[in-house]
Chains A and B, each alone.
Chain A
């Protein structure tokens, strides 16, 4: 075990947060559990899929929201029936368990296809290509009316597999499912980055040319990582349609794509934990600052505008002041404290990039 005070502090905080989360429904009121915490867990899983690619693969993907929505649209088209009201989409009425499996597999395959198209590019090109694929997906569900149409598909969460049960009335059940999936996703990513595949991924993040000379198939590794992140995004998408009961093109529009990017950047693109930190921060701000004194302040300053101006300004300040987000700020505070106390010890930069304690 380690004796680094920072790691010990982080573990204590992590375990404390998990205990608090498990006891959540007993502590917080129903609104907080259902709207704030459940949503933060789901958005956090989607953000984790983005941060996984960014932190360990060096790829900023803006297609995660769209992949998440793909899983949602697939489930929506497969499980709903025409008898259940005026539902849009294909209304296939298939078995929910089958639909769940198909949605996860289908989204992963789409992720592999996108990965194959985008994996030969890096850096800013990768970001542009994934953004383009994402917006193409948005227009696809908006314009191809047989699969959704502009108003989307509603009433999806009446149809859940038997092992999930009734989540429309029992919202705490959905909360615990989301918590369970979030923990599994976190553990899975922490496990994966220690496997040979994860190490190779970090290697080609830092030295793609050298890794290629060593005989690693760089595009294939990138494609597989993208497929994996698509699977994680699909998990978030399934939980999202169960949570909100419906899915519409707006859920994967440019605004939602940017929102997820803001969540990941607020949390910090360098560490997986940042996904849920950022999601909680974003959703709390989103819930409590809307239509309050801040927008009044904008009006008195004669700037005008709504909540989005504030979000944009906050995002701008974070990107300028601390591009690594809250987790980056946290790391820097510890770095400063550590250097102040023991000036003769090697600094954090002496640790090779990619190696986690």
Chain B
């Protein structure tokens, strides 16, 4: 009997051992093995600054870059996950909502400040950032409501058809954005002036951009808000019940259609809010709709569809892998300009799919 238990344990342990060894190897590489460029004495140029052991501050900065990117990932992907978890709709237009939201925020901010292409940060006050973001959130929420009511309500349960419908909508939105917003050029929303400075972080002892820290804070705020909404209000309770058993919930007399509409509006709005934040952090440009659809898909495949905790875990893992593989891998010589982060994104996905196809916190329906 005890022999049998031991056998089962080994089978369960092995995949974890493999993953654990890979993670340990990556950590070892980052902390000790990574080399600086030959000019500084290394033999194989991997980073510009060497391992975490050599240069702790650059390591801390890379870590913070990963965390702040994860904050933005979470804002966008949690909306995608919410919609899927409740309605089983894979909203292929989620990236388009992100893109459209970013461009709307840009246009509104341009109108408010009345400046040209580049607005100096000092000319923007907090309200002139918050209001454009709110407009984007409201408009995309309305767009989401229209899409859900007119295109997705009458064919519930036909998952593939709904995915195809949202793909068609994303094709139309992508083309319309090029036609109507800033000639399809890359556009940036400007952060309020007071965020445009470096703060010294007490524990890590480094200077870091305040704006990026705000992205992380916004991600945490969205997470906290979603948690309070889902776990502390009646609507949230109904949504969680709907995620677990849709038919039973509606049989209990809950107006599930209203819940669906609310969830779709909130999910779409989160994409738009992410778009406004993303456009402030970098820029929005045509083609990013596909990129953010990929980001949302990667996060929810890693974390598990329809799980808030899963979206957070997926965002963290993806953000950190993305950030570290971009800095700690060889880019010199023959490999000039190569970015390996996509290879590691694939490895991360493959590991999760191989060992836990439903995602880290997902359940099979």
Q: A143-B338, A304-B180, A316-B168 are in contact. Are A124 and B174 (CB under 8 A)?
A: no
Q: How large is the interface on B (under 10, 10 to 19, 20 to 34, 35 or more residues)?
A: 35 or more
9-residue interface stretch from A23-31, A131-139, A203-211, A278-286: A131-139
**A-contact 0/1 string along B160-172, CB 8 Å cutoff:** 1101110111011
9-residue interface stretch from A74-82, A172-180, A307-315, A335-343: A307-315
CB contact between B338 and one of A127, A146, A255 (< 8 Å): that residue: A146
B339 with A316: CB separation less than 8 A: no
CB of A254 within 8 Å of the partner chain: yes
CB of A305 within 8 Å of the partner chain: yes
CB contact between A309 and one of B163, B175, B290, B353 (< 8 Å): that residue: B175
Q: How far apart sit A129 and B88, CA to CA, in the bound complex (Å)? A: 15
CB contact between B294 and one of A123, A135, A146, A323 (< 8 Å): that residue: A135
A306 to chain B, nearest CB (A): 6
Q: A60-B160, A135-B294 are in contact. Are A124 and B88 (CB under 8 A)?
A: yes
Chain B, residue nearest A132 (CB): B297
**B-contact 0/1 string along A233-258, CB 8 Å cutoff:** 00000000000000000000111001
Chain A, residue nearest B88 (CB): A124
B8 cross-chain contacts in A, Cβ below 8 A:
none
A135 with B167: CB separation less than 8 A: no
CB of A97 within 8 Å of the partner chain: no
B174 cross-chain contacts in A, Cβ below 8 A:
308
B158 cross-chain contacts in A, Cβ below 8 A:
323
Q: A128-B297, A319-B164 are in contact. Are A306 and B171 (CB under 8 A)?
A: no
CB of B214 within 8 Å of the partner chain: no
CB of A326 within 8 Å of the partner chain: no
Q: A117-B353, A136-B345 are in contact. Are A319 and B172 (CB under 8 A)?
A: no
Near A by CB (< 8 A), chain B positions 130-175 give 151, 158-161, 163-165, 167-169, 171-172, 174-175
Q: How far apart sit A108 and B90, CA to CA, in the bound complex (Å)? A: 28
B165 with A136: CB separation less than 8 A: no
CB of B336 within 8 Å of the partner chain: yes
CB of B112 within 8 Å of the partner chain: no
A68 cross-chain contacts in B, Cβ below 8 A:
none
B38 to chain A, nearest CB (A): 20
User: Which DSSP category, helix, strand, loop or mixed, fits chain B's interface?
Assistant: helix
Near A by CB (< 8 A), chain B positions 89-140 give 90
CB of A194 within 8 Å of the partner chain: no
B338 with A316: CB separation less than 8 A: no
Q: How far apart sit A143 and B353, CA to CA, in the bound complex (Å)? A: 23
Q: How many cross-chain pairs have Cβ atoms below 8 Å apart between A and B?
A: 121
B350 with A143: CB separation less than 8 A: no
CB of A190 within 8 Å of the partner chain: no
A316 with B165: CB separation less than 8 A: yes
CB of A87 within 8 Å of the partner chain: no
B176 with A124: CB separation less than 8 A: no
Q: How far apart sit A145 and B343, CA to CA, in the bound complex (Å)? A: 13
Most buried by B among A121, A139, A255: A139
Q: A135-B290, A312-B175 are in contact. Are A127 and B90 (CB under 8 A)?
A: yes
A-B pairs with lowest CB-CB distance, top 7: A312-B171, A254-B290, A312-B172, A316-B168, A308-B175, A304-B179, A143-B339
Can you spell out 19 A-B residue pairs with CB atoms less than 8 angstroms apart? Answer: A118-B353, A120-B357, A123-B160, A124-B90, A125-B305, A132-B298, A135-B294, A136-B294, A136-B342, A136-B349, A139-B294, A140-B342, A143-B341, A144-B339, A144-B340, A146-B338, A306-B179, A309-B172, A315-B164
Q: A123-B159, A146-B338 are in contact. List 11 more A-B contacts (CB 8 A).
A: A121-B357, A124-B88, A124-B163, A136-B349, A144-B340, A254-B290, A258-B171, A261-B167, A304-B179, A312-B169, A319-B165
* A residues apposed to B, CB below 8 Å: 60, 116-118, 120-121, 123-125, 127-129, 131-133, 135-136, 139-140, 143-146, 149, 253-255, 258, 261, 265, 303-306, 308-309, 311-313, 315-316, 319-320, 323
